[in-house]
Structure formats: C-alpha cells, structure tokens
Amino acid sequence: MFKLSTLALVLASAFAAPAFAACPDASTSVTFGTYNSGVTNRAVAGTCTIDDQILDDEQQWGSQASFLAHVSKVSFDLLKAGKISATERVKLMAAAQASGIGNSIKVKLIGFNDFHGYIKAGEGSSSNPGVARFSTKIKALRAQNSLNAVVSAGDMIGASPLTSALFKDEPTIEAMNRIGIDFNSVGNHEFDEGKTELLRMKQGGNHPTDPFSGSGLPQDLKDGEFAGAKFDFLAANVVETESGNTVFPAYGVKSFLGNKVAFIGMTLEATPTIVSPSGVAGLEFRDEANTVNALIPTLQAQGIKSVVVLIHEGGFASGGMNGCTGVSGPIVDIVNRLHPEVDLVISGHTHAAYNCLINNSAGQPVRVTSAGQYGRNLTDIDMVIDTKTKNVLSIAATNLLTGTGATTAEDPALTDLVAHYNAAAAVPASRVIGKITAGITKTNNAAGESALGDVIADAQLAATASVATGGAVIAMMNPGGIRSDLPYNLASAGFAYDGAVTYGNAFTVQPFGNSLVTMTLTGEQIKTALETQFIGCNGQTQERILQISNGFSYAYTAANACNARITSMTLNGLPVDTAASYRVTVNSFLADGGDGFVVLKNGTDRLGGEVDTDAFEKYLQANPSGVAPGPQNRIVKN
Amino acid sequence: MKTNLLKPLVASLLLVGCVSAQAAHFEVLGYNATSRYSGTVDFTDFNFNGDYTSGGNDFGTAVSAIETTTDYEHSGNASGSFLGGNFLDLTTSVSFSSANPIEYYGIATAVEKTVQLQVVADAGDIGPQVNVSFAGLSSTFSGLVGSSEGTFQTSVRVSQGSNVLANFTTKQFADQNVNFAFAAQAGDIIVLSASQGVHMNASGPIDASLTGMLYGNFTVTAVPEPEQYAMLLAGLGLIAGVARRRSSR
C-alpha cells in the first residue's frame, strides 16, 4: 500500500502540473525551510516563482531521498526551460540536501478513550458535545497535518446512552466509520455483550434477534444490514485459550510516507472480573506490559521503531486535563515495566484526563495520555519520526476540549446520522412507562446505598417473588449496572404528567439488557457475597456495595478483616440462617460471577426471568400513584 | 452436487482475479552507493565525495559543491536515490563559467550500485512467477558551448548472480525512454546497478554546463502458472457445461 502511495506522490510531483498553493512567494531568495540556497527567487511560471514551483517544502517528505528526487526533477525542468542556470541548479540541490527536509516527518495522532456511544449532544449530560462536534474537532486537527491517525483506547461502545445503545451501539460504529478513525483498542465494555457480539461489531451483519439492529441510514449499511467497523479493533492481550490466537489483531500499522508506526491495542488484564463471564468464556486476558514487551521483537523485525500503545487501563492525576500531579493507578506500574522501544501510551478506563511522563523499564520518561470521557476531550499529539532510523525523535501532547454549544460547530457530515437515530429512538424512548414521586438518584450514602439502587432491587424482587417467577425473597443489584439517575420529568417540559418516567429514562439507567436470574443460595453464600463487596476480599478489586431489596438488611464494619465485616443479616426482621436456603434474584451479569462475585456462580435451581428494564417497567405500573425514592436504610455501616 | 460445483467455480473466480493483476514487490536487502564530484581548474584539484543514507525502504546519496572566485565559478552535483523499493532517480551535473582563459575539467558521477533486492510474493499470489518491468526516462541538458566538450553515460543493469537479466546503456544526448522487462521468481535475489556520469572540459572565457538525469520505476507483477490457466479454463468449461445442462431441463 505505502509503496503505491509513495510512488503516486513522487509521480504526481514529477509529472503533474504543480498546484501552486500561494503564488507568488515573496521571498527574495529561494529557501528550503529556513535554509537559504542563495539562488535569487523570481517568476518562472506566470507569477509563480522558483520558490513556489520547486520547493513544496511545506509539505512533508517521507525521506530526504524523496525530497531530493523531487527537487532534482523540478530543477532539471527549469534548467531545460532556460529558467535557471546549471550552477543555480547545483545550488538548489545543495541547499535541498543541507536543509534536512525529509530527514524527519511530523505525524499527528489524535487520541481519545471511553467514548461510550455518546453520539447525541446533551444526552446523558449537558456537557456531552455529541459526535458531530467531536468530528468537527478531529477534522480541524487533521487539517493541520495530512499525516495523521485517529485512535481510541477502548470503551468506544458499551454502557452507552439510549440513542446508541437501543441500536446495539451500531450508531457509534457507523459514526466512527464516517469520521474515519484508524484503530480502537478493545476495552472492558467492548465485551459487555460477549465476544460474539463484539466480533459482529467488527464484521457487520444484523443482530440475530434485536429488532432495532440494522436501522442505519442506507449509506451506512452494507447489503441492507449493519456494515461493521471499517477500522480495526485491537486486542493484543485477549487470547483464545484453545488456539492461542488473539481475538483481534494485536497491533495495527499505519505508514506515513513509508515510515511505519505500530499501534498495539489492549484492554486491562482484569477485564474478566468486570464483564459478564459467559461473554468472555474461553478467553484469556494477559498481563499488559508483558504482552507489549513480547511484541517488540516482532515489530523490530519489520523495521518498525515507532511504537504506540493503546491501552484500556489508566490512572488518576490532578492538575487539570494536562496535569499529572500525583499520578497513581495501574497504568503507572504498567508503564514502569514497558520496553524502552515504546514511544507513547494512550490510556483510558478511568475516565480521567491527564498528560503524564512516566518512566519505562529503562528509567526513561514516556508520554502517557488520557482524554477524559464521552468525547469531551481529545488528545492532540505531534510525533516527530527520524526517516532514516525510524525512531521517534520527539512527542508533544495536549489535551483539548471538544467544546459544547456554540463553541464548536456540529459537523454536517455527522448530523444526519445522529438525527436519524434520534428520530428512530424517539417513539420507543418517549413511551411513558410509569410514575415517580421525585427524582431518584444513584448517589450513595455513607454505607454505599442509593435511593435508585433500592428501587431497582425492589423491582427485581417484585418481578421474581411469585412462585411461578422464582419465589425470590431477596434481590441484589450490582452498583456498576446503574448508569444514571432517574430524573423527575415535568409536564411543563412536555411530559405526559409530572413524574412521568419514559422508557428512555429507564433504559439510560439500565442500558445493558441483562435478564434476571433467581437462584438458591445458603445464608452462608449470601454472607460470602456480601463479604466480597470489599476491596481485597475474595478477589475483589474495588469496593462494590450491592443494592438490596426491601425486607433484607445487613450491617458491616469496614475496619474488620476480610470475611469478618458482615456483622448481621436479617430478612423481614429475622436473622438470616447461614445454613438455610434462600431464593435470591440477581441479574445475569452477577449470576455469572460478574464484578468478582464468584460465589453467585454456585447458586442452584436457577430460573431465568425478564429483562431488567421490563421488570422495572412492570414495577412502575404496579404502583400507579408513583414510586418514591428508596429509603437508603437497608445497609448499615459501622 | 452443489459442493462439487462450488470448488471449480471458486477456483476459476479466484484465477480470473489473478490473471488481471497480482501484486508482488521488491524488498531491499542491501544497499551500497556513492556519489562524487571532482574538478580541476588550472591544475588546482577539487574533490567531493558524497555520503549515502540508508534505512527503511528509501536510500539516497548526494554531493553538491560550488566554488566561486573572482576569476571563475564551477559547480558539480551528483545524487542518486532508490525510493520505496521501486523508484530509481539519478542526477548529475557539472558547470563552469569564467571571463578568463582558464582551463576546466569536471566530472560528476552518481552511482547506485549493488542494490540487493529480493522478489517477494504478496498474500494472495498464486505461484512464484513474477514479471518485472521498468519504465523511465533518461534525459540530458547540454549547455556545451564554444570550446567546451563533454560526455555523459547512463546505465542500468539487473543481474542474478552472473546472469544479466536486463541491461540499458546510453550516451545519447536526446531524451530517451528506458524500458525493459524480465521474469523472475518469488524468493529470487537480484542486484540492481545503476549509474550516471558526466564529464566536461572547457576553456574560458566560457559559460558551459552539462546535466543529466534518469528516473523510472519498477513494477513487479505476479503471474499464474500455465497449469493454473488450465485450471481456470477447466473451471469455466465446467460452469458452461452445467449451465447448458440446466437450460436443457
């Protein structure tokens, strides 16, 4: 590929009528970059001067040889045409050589992470710029340098707002296709619906059962179905255990005028602990740094010495979006262990924006960036590559704001796509499914209990309490599955009545489409599940306080040791008997042992139930006078 | 029955694709080049030796030198490059000007020698056979006037071991197309040698120059082997046969 493009470029400059960007160039002598050839600049083609005609030194050259070849041909033609003397041509050749033009190229990389399908401006958050503004900003950056790549460090899809999620995130893939991004490393959320669905995101084709799949505009579809991603997903550390092959390419290579840059993509090693285990069955998620380091010899064998890591794992830092004060988190250890051949790390997962230098395994500082979340930021990176050695000479990175409202115009190339899906989602999204008496938030109290968590757990219990639906007495909901607050909609704002809850609202709260599973657990297993809520206990990687249904209550002492924190558990006022059996409802994610709750995999007599949003809708309908915010009094922290 | 039909059908379709154009390419294994300019003005010698750069798929060598005094000015340039594993570019030049009766002799040579190339088949190629063609232009600009005289020579040679696969040499001043072709096999290691040299004698007072250049590119194309053509025809024949049988029902 690159050979063709290089050739085309050389031939174009050699044989085609030169396109003069700015005739005449006013400089008095012909200069190459800042190097003065000593040849008097003068008109040689109409008003166009030698400087205009010969140089093209503003454009980039993939090697000094290619620039010299260009200057030699153009100057030879000028010589033959009697426009310059033989000595002047030699001066031009000498200056072209001395100028160093072509010895290095500057490549612009545009990085982002954790986009999460935020294609519609204002959806989910008023500070969501929407993909059309995102595209405008990317186009503006690309206009600065035709040698560019747009890359994503994971979670482009998954946990997304309704406009994308209702259509299985196909809208986001189509939007990114239109923008023309180059690579997306997989993140944990890419695996939300499992490997098979993720492969469909790349390969295309409609979802086997979802009626909203394949709803795109004709130009975004292929053979009338979802077309799949035109860019590559990268997953160097996600390996099929049986075959040893990676699910997606480990790395992608983009050539800039013959200078190759490798992008190694990966998700965090801990991905299986935060996604539904059935979706990643048969897959192995390997150590991030070891995976990168093992690939370096492969890249070097191809003469590739410019290496970028796109990693869906990150850290935290203060000091603003370009700050790096007190950087911490898993990314620090990963970068500390990286091979010195890695030149740049574009990270994600923590939804933080930072711009860091972290030492690699050789103690040399490596640029490490992260661009916040939801398309609000982009990282503008200039990478200078030595065209002889192919090594990276320098990297400069700046996190930018995408800009909302009038700050950044919407790219008309994307607005029709967003409008199309917005319209297609409008009817299902605006359907009123019930009433609440006040806004219900997912904000936790000190014990880790939220009003919305209570309500969702109650809805799950209600949907599975009857003998026919499972006979559940307890429901438990993972906090990470509650993605947003339930707003209090007003009639004055155009809603059916005050407190009307739309399907869109409910979907935004629970976008994953998990179904309910009722299982039998012993009191001991319930206790183990609750103990597993705390970091470092039973393999838990972060604190995750499960939201629980009415009638169930427990107390914990955070300062106690692992498996000794739960000090009491009661059900309808009676102590939970550790030896007795209880019917417990969780969603399919938890039932698979998701979020580290491995004990839930041991639940017996499983009965599958409704999709979570359907259960929630029925619960609202069963309470026509309105559901009130949960009491947040079920979990007691001591 | 269906699967039996499918195989020749797929094979023949694949081959139809192959016959039209298959990519293959050169990979540069090694490179050695020089460029040189030397001049003599009234028995004072000047020598300039070029340097070459290497790395990736692009190579270049160049030297340019100018000497200007109150009595004369002379300059020379010799540069060559092999770009992207397929594009050859050579340029040479000498010039001399003086209002005084000064003797000048200049010589510039641009040599890309022993560019060692390996023919590499790309994914999807069927068979090791490739055709290689070169298309380019040799051109000079003669500023030979008065008492000056000079020559130039351009040559391009491709060899495999002691076997010369292609050879082009010219001393002609007028523009000349350079075209040659040869067959090779994937895995073959071949050596490209290309050079251009200019020399000029001049006696002042004079303003004379001689400049030459050559550029062109190699195209490497994979070709199906004869038995694959046969398979193609067999496949098409089978399809035709099936079609006839179907239509007779």
User: Domains of chain A, with CATH numbers?
Assistant: 2-102 (no CATH), 105-420 (3.60.21.10), 431-637 (3.90.780.10)
Q: Could B62 and A97 be called an inter-chain contact, meaning their C-beta atoms sit closer than 8 Å?
A: yes
Residue A6 has pLDDT above 60, yes or no: no
* B51 interfacial to chain A (CB closer than 8 Å): no
Q: Looking at beta carbons, which residues of chain B come within 8 Å of A10?
A: 83-84, 87
Query: What pLDDT digit, counting tens, does each position of A163-181 carry?
Result: 999 999 999 999 999 999 9
* A94 interfacial to chain B (CB closer than 8 Å): yes
* B94 interfacial to chain A (CB closer than 8 Å): yes
| Residue B227, min C-alpha distance to chain A (Å) | 29
Tokens of A555: 């107390």
B237 vs A69, residue with greater confidence: A69
Q: How does residue A559 score in pLDDT terms, banded at 50, 70 and 90?
A: very high
Q: How many contacts, defined by CB atoms under 8 Å, are there between A and B?
A: 127
* A387 interfacial to chain B (CB closer than 8 Å): yes
Q: Looking at beta carbons, which residues of chain B come within 8 Å of A105?
A: none
Q: How does residue A298 score in pLDDT terms, banded at 50, 70 and 90?
A: very high
For chain B (249 residues), the mean pLDDT of every run of 10, in chain order, is: 41 39 75 90 90 71 90 92 86 94 92 82 71 93 93 94 93 93 92 94 94 92 67 57 40
Q: Could A90 and B76 be called an inter-chain contact, meaning their C-beta atoms sit closer than 8 Å?
A: yes
A261 vs B228, residue with greater confidence: A261
pLDDT at res. A608 = 82
What ipTM was predicted for this assembly?
A: 0.74
Q: Could A72 and B60 be called an inter-chain contact, meaning their C-beta atoms sit closer than 8 Å?
A: no
Chain A (253-292) residues lying within 8 Å, Cβ to Cβ, of chain B:
258-259
Residue of B nearest to A386 (CA): B55
Query: For tokens 């082009």, what's the residue?
Result: B168
Closest CA to B65 of A187, A90, A122: A90
Residue of A nearest to B122 (CA): A1
Q: Could B64 and A90 be called an inter-chain contact, meaning their C-beta atoms sit closer than 8 Å?
A: yes
Helix B226-248 vs helix B2-20: crossing angle, to nearest 10: 130
CB-closest option in B58, B62, B75 to A66: B58
The CA dihedral of A379, A380, A384, A387, to the nearest 10 degrees, is 90
Buried b (16+ CB within 10 A) or exposed e, A134-163: bbbbbebbbeebebbbbbbbbbbbbbbbbb
Q: pTM of the predicted model, to two decimals?
A: 0.79
CB-closest option in B59, B83, B211 to A76: B211
Long-range pairs, A495-501, Cβ under 8 A, ≥24:
A495/A432, A496/A432, A497/A435, A499/A435, A499/A436, A499/A437, A499/A438, A499/A626, A500/A432, A500/A434, A500/A435, A501/A432, A501/A433, A501/A434, A501/A435, A501/A436, A501/A620
* B141 interfacial to chain A (CB closer than 8 Å): yes
List the Cα angle B68/B73/B79 in 5-degree steps.
95
pLDDT at res. A282 = 94
C-alpha–C-alpha distance, residues A69 and A151, integer Å? 33
Residue of A nearest to B96 (CA): A87
Residue type, A335: V
Q: Are strands A251-256 and A259-267 parallel, antiparallel or unpaired?
A: antiparallel
Query: What pLDDT digit, counting tens, does each position of A331-376 carry?
Result: 999 999 999 999 999 999 999 999 999 999 999 999 999 999 999 9
A248 vs A301, residue with greater confidence: A248
pLDDT at res. A222 = 97
CB-closest option in B55, B64, B209 to A390: B55
Query: What pLDDT digit, counting tens, does each position of A597-627 carry?
Result: 999 999 999 888 888 998 999 999 999 999 9
A74 vs A577, residue with greater confidence: A577
C-alpha–C-alpha distance, residues A73 and A171, integer Å? 48
Tell me what the pLDDT averaged over chain A comes to. Answer: 92
